[in-house]
Amino acid sequence: MIITEQKPLQEIIDSLKNQAKVFLIGCGECATTAKTGGEPELLRMKEQLEAQGKVVLGMCIPSAPCVAAQIKTELAKNMKSLREADAVLVLACGLGTQSVKENNRLGQVVLPGCNTLFGAVVDSQGSFIEKCSMCGECVLEATAGICPITLCAKGLLNGPCGGMNKGKCEVDKDKDCAWVLIYNELDKKKKLDTLRIIREPKDFAKTTRPRKIIAAK
């Protein structure tokens, strides 16, 4: 899940300085869960923009605006309103905003209403916890399903640093050392021998951006 936060209202108003008529687009998946781009957030944004003298011509919430087929369908359904709009404000992650821009054939300015923060899991309390850095070289099979690239402040691959103290991280003493967590989990599974294997430095070329994967045909 991609976690976002709404931009400050004044920043949004400033970005719409020369656009009077606005169309709003949300996200039915990640931004809805994060409460930054679901129906309540779009309705609230509509009220706030209208209070600033803007005209909100309409809104839509595709399930996943980052999927071209879905955003094209929603744009087609709302073409009449979109034709009158000066700008499209997207309350979704940066992927959704860019997807709207690429698939909106009318060519209006497309603006982000959210800041994209990180990819996360959602725990049983509904909190968002960053656990994957999308590094392109997963090591979870060797680290008991705990990612040292993300959870270790230094991204270490072969055990804790010398600053670990009483199981806590040197960088943030309120956080458990990722490698202590990994050790304890491997110990429970009787797989401590895994730690004897020295891992080579990460191949950071695998995260060279931008990346593209061609869909299988």
pLDDT digits (tens, 9 = 90+) for 109-120: 999 999 999 999
Cross-sheet strand order for the sheet of 87-90: 55-60, 21-25, 87-90, 109-112
- Given a contact cutoff of 8 angstroms between Cβ atoms, the answer to whether 25 and 100 are in contact is yes
CA-to-CA separations, 174 to 166, 169, 199, 214, in angstroms, rounded: 11, 7, 28, 42
Residues carrying CATH 3.40.50.2300, the chain: 2-118
pLDDT 10s digits, 17-29: 999 999 999 999 9
pTM: 0.86
* CATH fold of 2-118: Rossmann fold (3.40.50)
pLDDT 10s digits, 54-88: 999 999 999 999 999 999 999 999 999 999 999 99
pLDDT 10s digits, 124-154: 899 999 999 988 889 999 999 999 999 999 9
pLDDT 10s digits, 186-212: 999 999 999 999 998 888 777 776 767
DSSP string, 43-65: HHHHHHHHHTT-EEEEEE--S-T
Buried b (16+ CB within 10 A) or exposed e, 133-148: bebeeeeeebbbebbb
Residue 37 has what pLDDT? 98
